[in-house]
């Protein structure tokens, strides 16, 4: 009204008065707050019961709903999770038909858009009970045509109250989703007066919008047995809706649907709404980023392996090789099984051991299905049969090789790999010159290889020899004063008796990443123990106060000794005591030409998809300090202008950074029957003796690389256990173990980045992490590519190939080709072979580039994430141009000649 007043003496307040008149003319009831009531039964796909029980829970709950619908014609019911519908369709076909009929009436309403209500940090939409939401979800939702979002979980945050209930949620790339948090903070109210009043009072955007959703009903097939949960009881809720429909002094309650609610907001209130930018962080359950490490390891491995199978068979489809048809059925089944385990109590590790067992056997089956498939596909590619069949632009190495390397990434890679001894013996000329190779302790042969982007490269013995005969390295490993020095062309690391990094010099810049600050007791690669006694749920939570119980591991069982020793790899091994029964054993290695220092924690005797987020390293506000443990996928980086530290991993998700400390949580373990938990984490610490701005021109990337296995068994509970660990802590309950990095001698960065991303190899390997000093920004230093390479190593197969074949190359490192696959609907692949290519911008900048392929391209079209064509693109015979905005994800349908 104030904005409508002008200085015009006569008419200055005319418009404002009109608005005021209309406002006060409204009778009671006309503008009354409206509650959109929807029946809902939050059925956890697995939690305190296995998957098999959920099938029955769905049938029981939904048949009750159908009966109630017959009696109450206004009843509406919202139901998510396609997997649950698939189970009922298969096991209870008659019930399924009834559900279909009610769905046709618009009363049994499918919501969600995802296979299960998955975890929202590690892989959205209708996710009332997920423990945090990645900043990339708005873009992904939009890509599949979903523009509305609902959750209640953020209301569980311990420290800060989220300021909105109906608002725009803006993601990393700028995409916005209309979002609603039902103000009763509950997905199973009982239409009681408290919830009704809370829905009105707790609606934080009152004034901007006058509607809210209230979900009512019994969750998980009945909830607490002590509560009345009969048919009649749900009927009481329905009767209450009837009574409260229009009562003076109370908000109106109406049987409604998500569509009616969101449409009303869209029609009336969109311009009034506030915007929240970035992730929706849940200030609780941070332990779920680490709990049940095995499940998280399997998830990472299998997501990557399935993508690799898709890439290999896409290549074979374009090459049109007989006997190599695209394995649609196995891929479909395997993806659905991996997705099933992404349910929000399975992947986060918050379900019972029975569910964990179920989940692992599902993973093992997926692995058993796709491993031979991948091997067969790689054998076909390596056979060179395509070579004789069709002419493509290849890079002839002039050598016929019986060992073929497959690179799944769209960039060239040069690195030391290991080849089984027998396979190496089959190489032509292998015995003539062995100068360029190294025999490792496991009987494998280490060779230095250069692999073409996304494709196959014959192993060239000539190149290996050249590399081996190159510049002579000085002594790699030296023992000096109790310290060990590992040194190659790029790095010099000083490691003490406890395996801690005292110094890591980046030779190009001459700068040391670590400061030997013994006074504070901080060192790089420091293993630490923490007590861990959460206030609420053991398997879900870790509290900030655990950080006050830090205990470094310094008792040496075995001092560092030389392990691998040759021209390509040098490494040392050492062993530390955790308790009288437990120990940790680690190998630190440095490869020739490597810019990373690798950590393989071989024995522990006890243990955003797409894009990145910038986070503060300080805790100025309560919002900052509540994030003492956050999600990250393949890497995290702490940088200043042109120098920083990156921490890469191949199966971990829980990160934290405060001031100069970066920590990666490695594992949560059940250690007693109570159950209690231990978390193992690695920390990277940066000291900052000087103020922030303008100091320092060096950059450090840490790629700690470690394999861990738990070996202390507790037969009484049948799970891997670290039960004796608490013996050395004061409290006999929960324990954290960390390794810590103390990285110094450069100014304190105020921000760090984490990568929300998900992505297997043929079997889960031990965990790895590595560290590496680099100059320039983490983007230019290749941290993102290095993280991909750590997660999906080069594969070797036997074959007969004399030409390298690179399927795709992208000429801009900011553009990453994430997925290559056949469309889900392959029915009309008549004229040519159509592939779906999904790429994204990874650096956070505008990027342009050219994607090239040796295969003749017929058509290129942009499509959405559902693979529906949107627009045709111009292209050349073997390439097309791509233009991306920061963190944008794009998909193309590319047709090749058959
Ligand atoms: Zn749940």
Cα 251 to ligand 1 centroid, rounded to whole Å: 28
Lowest mean pLDDT among 115-124, 353-362, 549-558, 768-777: 768-777
C-alpha to C-alpha distance for 513 and 657, rounded to whole angstroms = 17
Mean pLDDT of 772-784: 74
Q: Contact 452/392 with Cβ under 8 angstroms?
A: no
Q: Which is it for strands 613-616 and 751-754: parallel, antiparallel or unpaired?
A: antiparallel
Q: Residue 603, Cβ neighbours under 10 Å: how many?
A: 20
Mean pLDDT of 164-172: 94
Q: Which pLDDT score, from 0 to 100, does residue 128 have? A: 64
Instruction: Please give the radius of gyration of the chain, using alpha carbons only, rounded to the nearest integer.
Output: 29
Cα 62 to ligand 1 centroid, rounded to whole Å: 17
C-alpha to C-alpha distance for 649 and 707, rounded to whole angstroms = 10
- pLDDT greater at residue 466 or residue 876: 876
Catalytic residue among 129, 369, 544, 811: 129
Cα 130 to ligand 1 centroid, rounded to whole Å: 7
pLDDT band at 524 (very low <50, low <70, confident <90, very high): confident
- pLDDT greater at residue 760 or residue 116: 116
Cα 42 to ligand 1 centroid, rounded to whole Å: 7
State how far Cα 426 lies from the chain centre: 40
Cα 540 to ligand 1 centroid, rounded to whole Å: 13
Write the CB contacts of 183 (distance below 8 Å, at least 6 apart in sequence).
Answer: 165, 198, 199, 200, 201, 202, 203, 204, 212
Cα 46 to ligand 1 centroid, rounded to whole Å: 9
Cα 237 to ligand 1 centroid, rounded to whole Å: 22
Cα 344 to ligand 1 centroid, rounded to whole Å: 6
pLDDT at residue 726 is higher than 60: no
The question of whether 129 is a catalytic residue gets the answer yes
pLDDT at residue 573 is higher than 80: yes
- At 441, is the secondary structure helix, strand, or coil? coil
- pLDDT greater at residue 8 or residue 718: 8
Query: In the numeric block, which tokens belong to residue 773?
Result: 């000093």
Residue 303: exposure state from Cβ atoms within 10 A (0-12, 13-18, ≥19):
buried
pLDDT band at 392 (very low <50, low <70, confident <90, very high): low
Query: CATH says 286-392 is which class?
Result: mainly alpha
Cα 180 to ligand 1 centroid, rounded to whole Å: 18
Q: Which pLDDT score, from 0 to 100, does residue 471 have? A: 52
pLDDT at residue 671 is higher than 60: no
Task: DSSP for 740-797, please give it.
Answer: E-EE-SSPPPSEEEE-------SSPPPP-EEEB--BS-TTTTTHHHHHHHHHS--EEE
- pLDDT greater at residue 436 or residue 35: 35
Q: Which pLDDT score, from 0 to 100, does residue 595 have? A: 77
Q: What is the pLDDT of residues 115-127, one digit of tens each?
A: 888 877 654 356 6
- φ/ψ of 386, rounded to 5, equals -65, -25
Cα 622 to ligand 1 centroid, rounded to whole Å: 27
Domain spans of the chain, in order of start: 34-284, 286-392, 395-472, 481-791, 808-898
- pLDDT greater at residue 289 or residue 531: 289
Lowest mean pLDDT among 178-182, 539-543, 769-773, 858-862: 769-773
C-alpha to C-alpha distance for 655 and 665, rounded to whole angstroms = 6
pLDDT band at 260 (very low <50, low <70, confident <90, very high): very high
Mean pLDDT of 793-800: 88
Q: Contact 385/315 with Cβ under 8 angstroms?
A: no
What does pLDDT average to over the chain? 77
Cα 53 to ligand 1 centroid, rounded to whole Å: 15
pLDDT at residue 256 is higher than 90: yes
Q: Contact 252/245 with Cβ under 8 angstroms?
A: yes
Cα 671 to ligand 1 centroid, rounded to whole Å: 25
Cα 737 to ligand 1 centroid, rounded to whole Å: 29
Lowest mean pLDDT among 50-54, 565-569, 772-776: 772-776
Lowest mean pLDDT among 442-446, 555-559, 759-763: 759-763
Percent of the chain with pLDDT over 90: 35
Q: Which pLDDT score, from 0 to 100, does residue 481 have? A: 77
pLDDT band at 517 (very low <50, low <70, confident <90, very high): low
Lowest mean pLDDT among 31-35, 152-156, 222-226, 358-362: 222-226
DSSP secondary-structure letter at 206? B
Domain 808-898 belongs in CATH node 3.40.50.1010? no
Cα 347 to ligand 1 centroid, rounded to whole Å: 12
- Most distant CA atoms of the chain, gap in Å: 103
Q: Contact 808/851 with Cβ under 8 angstroms?
A: yes
The helix (H) or strand (E) run that includes residue 405 is strand 395-407
Domain 481-791 belongs in CATH node 2.70.98? yes
Mean pLDDT of 94-118: 92
Q: What is the pLDDT of residues 600-610, one digit of tens each?
A: 765 443 335 56
pLDDT at residue 724 is higher than 80: no
Q: Which pLDDT score, from 0 to 100, does residue 851 have? A: 97
Integer CA distances (angstroms), 393 to 97, 112, 803, 895, in order:
54, 45, 10, 18
Q: How far apart are the first and last CA of the chain?
A: 67
pLDDT band at 775 (very low <50, low <70, confident <90, very high): low
Q: Which pLDDT score, from 0 to 100, does residue 501 have? A: 81
pLDDT at residue 81 is higher than 80: yes
Q: What is the CATH number of domain 34-284?
A: 3.20.110.10
Cα 345 to ligand 1 centroid, rounded to whole Å: 7
Cα 342 to ligand 1 centroid, rounded to whole Å: 12
C-alpha to C-alpha distance for 883 and 889, rounded to whole angstroms = 11
Cα 119 to ligand 1 centroid, rounded to whole Å: 10
Percent of the chain with pLDDT over 70: 73
Cα 27 to ligand 1 centroid, rounded to whole Å: 42
Cα 44 to ligand 1 centroid, rounded to whole Å: 5
pLDDT band at 774 (very low <50, low <70, confident <90, very high): low
């Amino acid at each position: 009204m104030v904005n409508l007043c002008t200085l015009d003496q006569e008419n200055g307040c005319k418009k404002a008065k009109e608005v005021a008149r209309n406002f006060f003319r409204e009778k009671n009831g006309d503008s009354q707050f409206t509650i959109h009531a929807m029946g809902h039964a939050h059925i956890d796909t697995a939690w305190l019961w296995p998957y098999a029980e959920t099938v029955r829970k769905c049938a029981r709950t939904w048949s009750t709903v159908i009966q109630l619908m017959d009696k109450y014609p206004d009843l509406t019911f919202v139901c998510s999770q396609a997997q649950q519908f698939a189970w009922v369709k298969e096991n209870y076909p008659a019930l399924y038909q009834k559900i279909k009929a009610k769905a046709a009436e618009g009363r049994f309403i499918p919501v969600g858009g995802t296979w299960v209500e998955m975890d929202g940090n590690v892989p959205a939409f209708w996710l009332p009970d997920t423990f945090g939401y990645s900043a990339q979800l708005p873009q992904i939702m939009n890509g599949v045509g979903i523009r509305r979002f609902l959750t209640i979980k953020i209301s569980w945050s311990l420290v800060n109250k989220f300021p909105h209930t109906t608002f725009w949620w803006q993601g990393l790339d700028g995409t916005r989703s209309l979002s609603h948090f039902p103000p009763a903070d509950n997905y199973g109210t009982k239409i009681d007066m408290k919830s009704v009043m809370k829905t009105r009072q707790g609606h934080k955007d009152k004034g901007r919008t006058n509607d809210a959703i209230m979900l009512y009903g019994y969750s998980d097939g009945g909830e607490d047995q002590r509560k009345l949960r009969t048919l009649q009881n749900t009927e009481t809720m329905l009767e209450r809706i009837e009574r409260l429909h229009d009562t003076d002094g109370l908000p109106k309650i109406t049987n409604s649907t998500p569509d009616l609610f969101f449409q009303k907001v869209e029609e009336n209130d969109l311009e009034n709404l506030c915007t929240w930018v970035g992730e929706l962080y849940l200030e609780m359950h941070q332990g779920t980023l680490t709990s049940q490490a095995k499940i998280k390891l399997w998830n990472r491995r299998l997501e990557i392996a399935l993508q690799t199978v898709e890439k290999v068979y896409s290549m074979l489809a374009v090459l049109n090789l007989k006997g190599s048809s695209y394995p649609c059925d196995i891929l479909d089944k395997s993806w659905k099984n991996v997705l099933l385990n992404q349910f929000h109590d399975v992947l986060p590790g918050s379900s019972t051991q029975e569910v964990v067992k179920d989940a692992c056997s599902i993973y093992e089956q997926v692995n058993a299905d796709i491993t031979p498939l991948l091997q067969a596909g790689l054998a076909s590619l390596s056979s060179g049969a395509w070579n004789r069949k069709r002419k493509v632009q290849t890079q002839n190495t002039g050598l016929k090789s019986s060992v073929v390397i497959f690179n799944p990434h769209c960039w060239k890679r040069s690195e030391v790999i290991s080849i089984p001894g027998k396979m190496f013996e089959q190489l032509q000329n292998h015995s003539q010159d062995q100068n360029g190779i190294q025999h490792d302790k496991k009987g494998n042969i280490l060779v230095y290889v250069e692999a073409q982007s996304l494709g196959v490269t014959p192993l060239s013995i000539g190149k290996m020899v050249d590399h081996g005969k190159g510049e002579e390295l000085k002594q790699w490993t030296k023992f000096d004063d109790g310290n060990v020095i590992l040194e190659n062309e790029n790095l010099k690391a000083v490691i003490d008796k406890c395996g801690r990094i005292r110094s890591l010099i980046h030779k190009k810049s001459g700068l040391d990443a670590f400061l030997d600050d013994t006074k504070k007791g901080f060192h790089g690669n420091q293993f630490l123990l923490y007590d861990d006694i959460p206030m609420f749920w053991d398997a879900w939570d870790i509290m900030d106060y655990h950080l006050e119980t830090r205990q470094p591991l310094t008792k040496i069982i075995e001092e560092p000794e030389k392990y691998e020793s040759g021209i390509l790899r040098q490494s040392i091994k050492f062993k530390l005591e955790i308790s009288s029964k437990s120990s940790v054993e680690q190998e630190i290695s440095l490869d020739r030409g490597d810019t990373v220092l690798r950590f393989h924690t071989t024995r522990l005797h006890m243990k955003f998809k797409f894009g990145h987020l910038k986070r503060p390293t300080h805790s100025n506000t309560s919002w900052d300090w509540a994030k003492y443990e956050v999600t990250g996928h393949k890497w995290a980086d702490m940088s200043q202008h042109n120098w920083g530290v990156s921490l890469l991993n191949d199966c971990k998700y829980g990160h934290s950074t405060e001031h100069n400390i970066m920590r990666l949580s490695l594992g949560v373990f059940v250690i007693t029957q109570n159950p209690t938990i231990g978390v193992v984490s690695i920390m990277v610490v940066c000291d900052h003796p000087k103020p922030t701005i303008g100091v320092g021109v060096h950059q450090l990337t840490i790629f700690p690389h470690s394999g861990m296995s738990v070996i202390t068994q507790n037969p009484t509970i049948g799970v891997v256990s670290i039960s004796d660990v608490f013996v050395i802590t004061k409290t006999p309950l929960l324990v954290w173990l960390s390794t810590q990095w103390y990285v110094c001698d450069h100014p304190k960065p105020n921000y760090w980045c984490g990568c929300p991303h998900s992505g297997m190899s043929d079997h889960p390997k031990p965990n790895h992490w590595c560290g590496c000093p680099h100059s320039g920004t983490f983007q230019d230093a290749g941290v993102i590519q290095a993280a991909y390479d750590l997660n999906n190593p080069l594969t070797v197969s036997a074959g007969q190939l004399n030409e390298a074949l690179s399927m795709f190359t992208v000429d801009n490192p900011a553009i990453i080709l994430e997925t290559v696959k056949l469309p889900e609907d392959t029915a009309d692949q008549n004229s040519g072979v159509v592939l779906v290519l999904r790429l994204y911008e990874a650096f956070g900048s505008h990027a342009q580039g050219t994607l090239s392929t040796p295969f003749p391209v017929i058509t290129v079209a942009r499509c959405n994430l559902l693979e529906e064509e949107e627009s045709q693109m111009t292209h050349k015979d073997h390439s097309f141009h791509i233009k991306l905005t920061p963190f944008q994800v794009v998909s193309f349908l590319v047709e090749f000649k058959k």
